[in-house]
Amino acid sequence: MTGIAIWPSYTDLECPRIWASGDSLISQHGSPLIQDGAKIFSVPVICRSIGKDGLFSEPYFAHTLGYCFAGSTLMGQNSFLSTAPLLTTLTSEEKYIPSMEDVAKYFHYFMRNSYDYYKVIAQGGAQFEAAIFGWCHNAKALEAWHFKPSDASGAWEIVIEKVDFCESCRFLYLGDHKEHVKTELATALLLCADNEQAPRKVIQKLIESEIYGSIGGDEQLAMANEFGLQPYLLARSTVSGSPPTKFTHLGIELTDDIAWVGKARVGGPAII
């Protein structure tokens, strides 16, 4: 399955942010399939109004949110791939800015359709959960929305709920071994209240220790704020204890042959 933690940080009150840290292992029936599986994605939301040409050609809003999933890779990835392209084609004569609730409900529609069909074929193998997170320009606040399977209605379906990052639950966890990992995350946040990176250490420990066969690979990290979603490269040392000398993405080192796209270099921030 997987292990992904999502949590807000208000250490910088002028620029609050929400983090997501997860593993990159994709497995099946307890056996590893892919070590560099992407599970945290950027969701572009682009809106256009009527331009001078009389067409919807004038961009008036562009933003990115975070999306992540745990469980069925087919369901998790298809829910993103079927929805994200349409969110770049939004038009409004009134220059309406969609809220995160609007986007969440839109994702939910596609998820329900796919899940209702796939669960008949895959049964338990269709189970998955997902979340979108980031800054809502409509509410002017950080938000996260959780999609998860539920049989409360008498039949399995994907339900949606807004995450309440209250004092007693300052994170959202997607993935396996929930009770154990949630306890670890709560303890980390309690003991390291001044360290916004504390939940990362829990995910990193799960990956490195290989306690659970369904959590492994390498860490994938992203941060979202009012300016959008920012994926992070990881800065690593080739020799233990020495300064960072390489950068990785999903455990893959960005050597010269993949650090460049033509004459443009792969950039963005990196973190240890």
Secondary structure of 38-76 in HEC code, one letter for each residue: CCEEEEEEEEEEECCCCCEEEEEEEEEEEEEEEECHHHH
Token representation of residue 250: 């999903």
Cβ 46 vs Cβ 62: under 8 Å? yes
Q: Rounded to 10 degrees, what is the CA torsion of 21, 27, 33, 36?
A: 0
Q: In this structure, is residue 88 part of a structural domain?
A: yes
**Total domains, the chain:** 1
The phi, psi pair for 229, rounded to 5°, reads: -95, 135
Cβ 254 vs Cβ 247: under 8 Å? yes
165 is in which domain, residue-wise?
A: 3-230
- Number of Cβ within a 10 Å radius of residue 194: 6
Q: In this structure, is residue 7 part of a structural domain?
A: yes
Q: In this structure, is residue 243 part of a structural domain?
A: no
Position 11 scores a pLDDT of: 86
Q: In this structure, is residue 104 part of a structural domain?
A: yes
Position 192 scores a pLDDT of: 83
Triad 270, 228, 95: Cα angle to 5°:
160
Q: In this structure, is residue 240 part of a structural domain?
A: no
Q: In this structure, is residue 135 part of a structural domain?
A: yes
Position 82 scores a pLDDT of: 95
Q: Rounded to 10 degrees, what is the CA torsion of 123, 42, 198, 259?
A: 120
Q: What is the DSSP string of 105-172?
A: HHHHHHHHHHHHHHHHHHGGGG-EEEEEEEEETTTTEEEEEEEEEE-TTSS-EEEEEE----TT---E
Per-residue pLDDT tens, the chain, 272 aa: give them.
Answer: 789 999 999 988 889 999 999 999 998 877 889 999 999 999 999 999 999 999 999 999 999 999 999 999 999 999 999 999 999 999 999 999 999 999 999 999 999 999 999 999 999 999 999 999 999 999 999 999 999 999 999 999 999 999 999 866 799 999 989 999 999 999 999 888 778 899 999 999 999 987 888 899 999 999 999 999 999 999 988 777 667 778 999 999 999 899 999 999 998 899 98
CA distances from 125 to 27, 42, 177, 216 (A): 12, 25, 17, 20
**DSSP 8-state class, residue 230:** E
CATH number at residue 213: 3.60.20.10
Q: In this structure, is residue 253 part of a structural domain?
A: no
Q: In this structure, is residue 248 part of a structural domain?
A: no
CA distances from 259 to 35, 111, 201, 264 (A): 20, 34, 27, 9
Sign of the C-alpha dihedral, residues 244, 266, 85, 60? positive
Position 168 scores a pLDDT of: 62
CA distances from 1 to 28, 79, 105, 195, 201 (A): 8, 16, 25, 28, 19
